[in-house]
Structure 1
Amino acid sequence: MQDGAEPQVGPAFGAVFRTVRGGNAFEETVERLLSAIKLGVVVPGERFPAERDLAARLGISRITLREAIRALQEAGYVEPRRGRGGGTFVTYVPPRPSREEALRVLHTLDGGLEDLFAFRRVLEVGAGVRLAETGLTSEQRQLLNTRLAEVEAAAVEDYRRHDTDFHLTIAELAGSASLSTTLADVRMRINELLNAMPMLARNLEHSNVQHRTIVEAILAQDPDATRAAIGEHLEGSEVLLRAFLGEPRP
């Protein structure tokens, strides 16, 4: 990624930078900006969209946005730069969390790990089956194949970001902004756990084979094959996470 570039507008971008609707605009704005950093929507060295554009997209005042950016700056996540080519740049490079840190994240989850897994399955399987049932336009088919190619070609350090974009693209193509937004939140919690695990080349190769099977089932408009392919893919990460975290299967 070229230093100083703005993030590409993809499904994760739209899911994170959506209109703020909560009662506390400042806190929700801080949460949105943090989500963008954690999901890799804006990676270290990139800058957030221009202040005017971002405030309009979030539906907040520029004063509120500046206050949120100042809070992130004080926490060491971003650095505002002035002058030509300036803006708000992400400076935070997240270290790989330890297993102990992942366990602390796990203990903050309402309903625990199995609730998170069940919710993700409902969202992702539902989105894929809907696509298989309704079919895709030629442009949508091209977009899905592009996201597949990107995750297959991703380097290890960029894999999680492209993997997230692949899954959110399926949700986005299902035609529900609410689904995309909710799944983005779920993926962020899942990624906080997955990021603590070492990424093995063999596991990534197997994951990419499953991604291709999912795409083929969706494009063939086969809901049953899509349901099975996504279920098998999600089961794989669930097994790995349970073993890593020492959580028994229910």
Structure 2
Amino acid sequence: MEELVFDKIRHGRISDNIVAQIKNAIFTGIYRPGDKLPSEKELISLFNVSRVPLREALRSLQEMGLITIRPGIGGGAFVNQMGIKPVSDSLFNMLRLGNINIGEIWEFRISIEPNIAFLASERRDQWDIKQIEEINSIREKAIQGRKAPVISNIDFHQAVAKASKNSLLIMVIDAIALILMEELKRFQFSLNDHRNIFKFHKEITESIKRKDSEKAKALMHEHLMDVKKRLKI
């Protein structure tokens, strides 16, 4: 079968060509989650390449979250189950490589997160409410202890995204969260800033609990605009 799947490489950047062919084989369902790719020796023969560009290509595919390389007897390159985390990690890497700045991230958040809050209000279940309220509780205790709970701020938005029940939105927000965890370290929030942010989070939570989708949407927009001003971006 492999002879029909892959073409021998005759031109272009070798490792990129290998990556493109294997990705296509995975995305078209020729290789499914859990399947093992041909051995290194077989791939070298199929692509008519040397070991170095092949290994470079396999490393790239692993970094994309598409495969896992297992060492030892019974090892090899296996196709991953494409859950949310590997896709989010890959998107994070692409955003980083694209030099996306925090101003662009915030514009994106303002354009999309109010609608995420809207969907969360309509689709949330009791487990979602429990998760959001637990995050709020952590944030409240941190503020009472006069600490800067940046992580719980990001966690709140991820929990709201999960309540939307839209896998693509969850992936995107998770990827953005990874960047924000680094970017927000450069900014100093006062205790008053944290109190105001938490006030919005509580109000958004109550709107989601009541299934008041329009209110949740409006509050999320107002919240993100407020933080944008505080960050001066």
TM range (shorter): 0.5 to 0.7
The equivalent residue for 2:80 is none
1:153 matched to 2:161? The reply is no
CA distance in 1, matches of 2:146, 2:189: 7
Tell me if the contact between 1:127 and 1:171 (Cα under 8 Å) persists in the aligned partners.
Answer: yes
- Residue identity over aligned pairs, in percent, reads 16
CA distance in 1, matches of 2:151, 2:198: 14
Tell me: CA distance 1:24–1:184, structure 2 relative to 1, closer, same or farther (3 Å).
Answer: farther
Give 3-state SS (helix, strand or coil) of 1:133's partner. Answer: helix
Query: 1:124-183: per-residue Cα shift (whole Å, max 9, x none)?
Result: 21211002223x322322222112212222366661222211110111121123222211
Once the two structures are superposed, the pairs formed by residues 1-250 of structure 1 within 5 Å of their partners are 26-27=59-60, 60-63=68-71, 109-110=99-100, 112-134=101-123, 136-154=124-142, 159-241=149-231, 243=232
CA distance in 1, matches of 2:168, 2:139: 24
* TM-score under structure 1 length normalisation: 0.52
Structure with greater helix share of residues: 2
CA distance in 1, matches of 2:57, 2:114: 33
CA distance in 1, matches of 2:62, 2:188: 31
Structure 1: give runs of 5+ residues left out of the alignment.
1-18, 33-57, 64-105
Aligned residue identity for 2:199: V
CA distance in 2, matches of 1:26, 1:115: 30
Tell me: CA distance 1:31–1:207, structure 2 relative to 1, closer, same or farther (3 Å).
Answer: farther
Query: 1:28-79: per-residue Cα shift (whole Å, max 9, x none)?
Result: 76688xxxxxxxxxxxxxxxxxxxxxxxxx851244xxxxxxxxxxxxxxxx
Tell me if the contact between 2:162 and 2:170 (Cα under 8 Å) persists in the aligned partners.
Answer: yes
Q: CA deviation at 1:114?
A: 4.3
- What number of residue pairs does the alignment pair up? 154
Give 3-state SS (helix, strand or coil) of 2:175's partner. Answer: helix
Tell me if the contact between 2:132 and 2:159 (Cα under 8 Å) persists in the aligned partners.
Answer: yes
RMSD after superposition: 3.3
Tell me: CA distance 1:216–1:196, structure 2 relative to 1, closer, same or farther (3 Å).
Answer: same
Aligned residue identity for 1:147: I
Tell me: CA distance 1:190–1:138, structure 2 relative to 1, closer, same or farther (3 Å).
Answer: closer
Structure 2: give runs of 5+ residues left out of the alignment.
1-32, 34-55, 72-95
Give 3-state SS (helix, strand or coil) of 2:165's partner. Answer: coil
Aligned residue identity for 2:68: I
